[in-house]
Amino acid sequence: MMRIDQITLREIRLALKEPFRISSGEIRERRILLLELRDASGAHTWSECVAGEAPNYSPETIDTAWAAITQWIAPRVLGRTIEHPGELYAELEHDFRGHYMAKAGVEMGAWGLAAMLAGEPLSLFIGGTRTEVAVGISLGIQASPDRLIEKAQAALAEGYRKIKIKIERGHDVEWVRAVREAVGPDAHLMADANNAYTIDDADHLAGFDSLGLVMIEQPLAWDDLVRHAELQKRLSTPICLDESITSLERAQDMVTLGSGRIINIKAGRVGGFTSAIAIHDFAQQHRIPVWCGGMFESGIGRAYNVALASLPNFTIPGDVSPSARYWAQDIVSPEWTMTDGMMRVPLEHRGIGVAVDEARIAALTVRTETLRP
Ligand code: OSB
Ligand code: MG
């Protein structure tokens, strides 16, 4: 049983080590929305809202999330006694459309807090079965094919178990082919288009079919399952959906329509852990492999991703790269690290499993607001 009686929002700024470009935009510095949740018993934990700076991935941004949490989400959660964090998803969906990332920031925090109160690591609290998770890397669009090849080779040398290459028109089949030729047939390669194409590009996209990719992620529009189904009929490469899967129902639609064969699960995109776990379970029943996506989280959001990726059907390496791939210095200790392409699930502490550097967060904070019932 728990009662959240205080939520503090903070915006911090954290510079990426290198700019990251995808087909729909570029980021250099992250504006990160952190939440600190406090239970009536005095226990507290941190969570992260993954909304980006601009609405190029989903309609949400850090600013819409801030407004949604203060005006609509916190009032439904604060002061409410709940038996289990699994109750919050339905409560936040009732007559309340969208704003999944904002909802997830609070909902996931409630899971983190509940694990802490139960005295269990978050991974075990949600039914995780892995002690380590396989790590992939997501490479942004580079200046030249040679630069991309260098990055891919360096990533393989570091031990990454999957290389995801961001693509867009003019930087696609030939670029990925160049990488495939450089790294050989066995490397796990995939491409992520972030909606860069239309169904009229089907013949062009079929050019990927000879490159042995494990999947092509979200080639078409963010909210379009119908045309993805048409495209999947014309490609032998499995389609993986990211942006399009915003709920369990959309995952069910994907299976009904044949819009894809793999799901990238991001708890933030689907309204939190309850929904993410439901999608995981559904996919498992339908023999759809899933993997954990990333949104350039800080070490706090990463803790939730690692816990999620410890569930049994996360059989493909996730975009859960170590802290040092993103930041000069993370805001948690220990930082997230990778050994032999694997990241250890922290099982020795209750809750999210890493210590949060509160002094550093205070120094990085540009905006804060505390909400009470
Ligand atoms: O499409 O998976 C994506 C980052 C921001 C927005 C969308 C995506 C991504 C990534 C980054 O690919 C993965 C990571 O966090 O390492
Ligand atoms: Mg993606």
Distance 70 CA to ligand 2 centre (A): 28
111 lies in the same domain as 172: no
303 lies in the same domain as 183: yes
* Within-domain flag for 352: no
Distance 222 CA to ligand 2 centre (A): 10
CA-based max dimension of the chain: 60
Per-residue confidence (pLDDT) for residue 131, from 0 to 100? 98
* Within-domain flag for 201: yes
Q: Please report which ligand is nearest the Cα atom of 295.
A: 1
Distance 219 CA to ligand 2 centre (A): 9
141 lies in the same domain as 98: no
Distance 43 CA to ligand 2 centre (A): 35
48 lies in the same domain as 96: yes
98 lies in the same domain as 218: no
Q: In the structure, which protein residues have their CB atom closer than 6 angstroms to any atom of ligand 1?
A: 57, 138, 192, 194, 242, 293-296, 319, 321
Residue 263: give the domain boundaries. 124-344
Catalytic residue among 103, 162, 166, 233: 166
Is residue 326 helix, strand or coil?
helix
Is 266 catalytic? The answer is: yes
Which of 319, 321, 325, 343 most suits a substitution to test ligand 1, by most atoms within 8 Å of the C-beta?
A: 319
183 lies in the same domain as 98: no
CA distance 287 to 321: 26
CA distance 346 to 120: 11
Q: Please report which ligand is nearest the Cα atom of 58.
A: 1
Question: Residue 321 CA: which ligand 1 atom is closest?
Answer: 16
Token code pair at residue 116: 């802490």
CA distance 341 to 335: 16
Give nearest CA residue, ligand 1 atom 8. 295
167 lies in the same domain as 210: yes
Which of 53, 161, 241, 295 most suits a substitution to test ligand 1, by most atoms within 8 Å of the C-beta?
A: 295
Question: Residue 137 CA: which ligand 1 atom is closest?
Answer: 16
168 lies in the same domain as 265: yes
Q: Which H or E element spans position 136?
A: strand 136-139
Question: Residue 27 CA: which ligand 1 atom is closest?
Answer: 5
* Within-domain flag for 349: no
Token code pair at residue 132: 């380590």
Domain total in the chain:
2
98 lies in the same domain as 139: no
* Within-domain flag for 286: yes
Per-residue confidence (pLDDT) for residue 303, from 0 to 100? 98
316 lies in the same domain as 228: yes
304 lies in the same domain as 210: yes
Query: In sequence order, what are the residues at sequence separation of 6 or more whose Cβ sits closer than 8 angstroms to the Cβ of residue 100?
Result: 58, 60, 246, 247, 268, 269, 270, 271, 272, 275
Mean pLDDT by 10 residues, the chain (373 residues): 96 96 92 97 96 96 98 98 97 98 98 97 98 98 97 98 98 98 98 98 98 98 98 98 98 98 98 98 98 98 98 98 97 98 97 97 98 97
Q: Please report which ligand is nearest the Cα atom of 219.
A: 2
Q: Please report which ligand is nearest the Cα atom of 244.
A: 2
Whether residue 334 is preceded by a cis peptide bond, meaning omega within 30 degrees of 0, is yes
Residue 52 sits in a domain whose CATH number is 3.30.390.10
* Within-domain flag for 164: yes
* Within-domain flag for 350: no
CA distance 57 to 64: 14
| Residue 271: CA count within 13 A, CB half-sphere | 25
Is 166 catalytic? The answer is: yes
252 lies in the same domain as 108: no
Distance 331 CA to ligand 1 centre (A): 19
Distance 18 CA to ligand 2 centre (A): 19
* Within-domain flag for 296: yes
